Chain A
Amino acid sequence: MSLLDIKGLTIHYITHQNTVRAVNDVDLSIDTGKTLGLVGETGAGKTTTALGILRLIQTPPGKIVSGEILFDGKDLLKESEHNIRMIRGNDISMIFQDPMTALNPIMRVGDQIAEVVYLHGDCTKEEAKERSLHMLETVGIRAERSTEFPHQFSGGMKQRVVIAMALACKPKLLIADEPTTALDVTIQAQVLKMINELKAVYNTSMLLITHDLGIVAETCDEVAIMYAGQIVEYGNLEHIFDNPKHPYTIGLFKSLPSLDKDVERLSPIKGLMPDPANLPTGCKFHTRCDHVCEDCKAIEPAYQEIEPGHFVRCLRVERGEI
């Protein structure tokens, strides 16, 4: 059985002017110890999905309209606020996109780690402190620096502190929301390696949100491609990298530079992602698709399993036309 099983998750941001349909009917699942990559361009709804799992969507304007989030067999959307708090930081923890702002600027980094340990750890303050020092050393920061404040750390080190904080309670699921996007390229690799190693040590499952397919190839077991709030293609690494079916996924690969293929020019996907407050009818991708037909504009494609474990949301793939 999978650790996390999301079914039909739909999240909207409702304001006076409009309704932003950020996440629409998303299905995802992650097995114990496995890593799922969630890939999509900015505004696709990745962060909203992640925050939805922890029930941290700001309400208002955000609202989880429908769906189920089964974690260890329990529906998180039906849990009490108290139970959710017991899960947050303990069973499911999250690494946020921007380490520069993710830490409280006026609290010592050691205390920020010890806080979460003390909250869930069933231990004394001293033991929590002890554990926070251990966690700092685990992520490669000397324990003496625990009394320093975030402004005394570089971006990469701040992200390490955030990782230490997220893993301090040995969560079953780690949600990493673009953990390396804000970092220098050289630091990116280090941080990613560290997350991977620690994840293996603690046997943690991971939802890795990124827009970097290279990172996915190195890190993930399964991949979900998100577009305009929907999962358009889902499968394991071979499915997605060797046999991509959805025109959007194919477009993503075409827009990447490659060393082995000798292409003259990159071909980015034309156009822009539609405004999630004003989504087109039919297939959400039809405005940018090379294979668009009349039906694509009217009929909403179903999420179809085309081979075991490989799902695609495309009318023309479903009909075997492409």
Chain B
Amino acid sequence: MLDIFNFKEHIIPMEKWVAGAVDWLVGNYRPQFQAVKWPVEQTLNGINWVLQIVPPIIFLIILFAIAWRLSSWKVGIFGVITFLLAGYLGMWEETMTTLAMVISAVVFCVIVGIPMGIIAARSDRFVAFIRPILDAMQTTPAFVYLVPVVMLFSIGTVAGVIATIIFAMPPIIRLTNLGIRQVQSDVVEAAKSFGATPNQILWKVQFPLALPTIMAGLNQTIMMSLSMVVIAALIGAGGLGVPVFEGLNSLRVGLAFIGGLSIVLLAMVLDRITQSLGESKRIQQRDES
């Protein structure tokens, strides 16, 4: 009777089932998976190629300019020092790879996430449909995302970026939806009363007024991308996750520390630069008045 609790004898052959299902999926839907993978791969390779080929001095100048424009000269200097430090720690190349992965992932998050957020803002049914999915995505540990991605896209940097895109997408969808819904209803009503079409209302009124909120979502998406890109080293993605992963595996704590430190520094720079996106010039004007 107690025999049924002998787990060694009674194993659900889940592994075989799943493997079979995945084989079948990949075998029959290869073009579809390629269609997802191809643009990601092209974007990633393009950005990575540029970042690797650009001389560090040019990169630092551009970084300073962007940080200055979006935030302040202080953040610009902070960014330059941080990247210099990463370089002197021997992590320049890895930092560039990680940055390329983050940028590619974020590009796709924006391309897909903002339109989804807009649809969500216009349709309660769509929200009812995606909210549980977004909730599930947000509560799932980052690590677990790697499983289905590896099953469908195998391993490597591109697969890592795909996992990152899925992982980092929820905030931008949520905050685009929220930002548009938060726009004051009397302003929208006024636009309507002057004969604006739904599209005109969206682009002339709702979207510009939601922009600070959407930018806050972008900031979150960027930070989540960075954390995922590093974890993706587990499935063979390149970048700053690699020294951490290798260092821990081979007990080279120094190497792991350098990798970890570089990640933290990169995170701080990206956060500083993009945080200010949420506080647009218009809002500053408003506060002054």
A pairs with B: no
**Which residues of chain B have a CB within 8 Å of any CB of chain A?**
none
**Which residues of chain A have a CB within 8 Å of any CB of chain B?**
none
